């Protein structure tokens, strides 16, 4: 089955700096890569996702890049703000009727210091 490794496990940055979280996956057939944000005491929520037919996707201060050859993808947050502090999870799956289940990485605790 799929295996997703996520690094780093913790990340501390100053407000305004950039933050990068990296994930690698094992199943070359995986074609969908979402990122979820979980604030303290809250449920995980999707913040951005990418499909394997594109290499990069941006949404305001967040972006995701995908390297299919190397089987890794990354989350980039620019101009970090204290409200970006949360746990971030990457995940991978094969889109399609029979393979819609996600495999998650171990999570990254991001702390943004004012």
Partner 1 sequence: DADVTQTPRNRITKTGKRIMLECSQTKGHDRMYWYRQDPGLGLRLIYYSFDVKDINKGEISDGYSVSRQAQAKFSLSLESAIPNQTALYFCATSDPDRGTDTQYFGPGTRLTVL
Select the residue interacting with partner 1 from 30, 105, 110, 112 (CB under 8 A): 105
CA 34 from chain centre, in angstroms, equals 6
Which of 19, 44, 66, 74 binds partner 1 (CB under 8 A)? It is: 44
In the block, tokens 């390297």 appear at 67
Of 5 and 56, which CB lies nearer to partner 1 in the complex structure? 5
Binding test (CB under 8 A) with partner 1, winner from 13, 27, 32, 72: 32
Which of 60, 83, 97, 114 lies at the binding interface for partner 1 (CB under 8 A)? 97
Distances (CA, A) of 7 to 21, 95, 100, 110, 114: 6, 24, 24, 11, 23
Asked if residue 8 binds partner 1 (CB under 8 A), the reply is: no
| Rounded-to-integer distance, Cα 101 and Cα 92, Å | 8
Least Cα distance to 78 among 37, 112, 32 occurs for 112
Give the interface with partner 1 as residue ranges (CB under 8 A): 1, 6, 9, 32, 34, 42-46, 49, 89, 93, 95-97, 100-107
């Amino acid at each position: 089955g799929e295996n997703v490794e996520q690094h780093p496990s913790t990340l501390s940055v100053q407000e305004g700096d950039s933050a990068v979280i990296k994930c690698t996956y094992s199943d070359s057939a995986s074609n969908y890569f979402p990122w979820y944000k979980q604030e303290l005491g809250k449920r995980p929520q999707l913040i951005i996702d990418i499909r394997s037919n594109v290499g990069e996707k941006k949404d305001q201060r967040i972006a995701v890049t995908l390297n299919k050859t190397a089987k890794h993808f990354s989350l980039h947050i620019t101009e970090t703000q204290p409200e970006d502090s949360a746990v971030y999870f990457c995940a991978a799956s094969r889109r399609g009727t029979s393979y819609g289940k996600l495999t998650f990485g171990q999570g990254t605790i991001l702390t943004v210091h004012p």
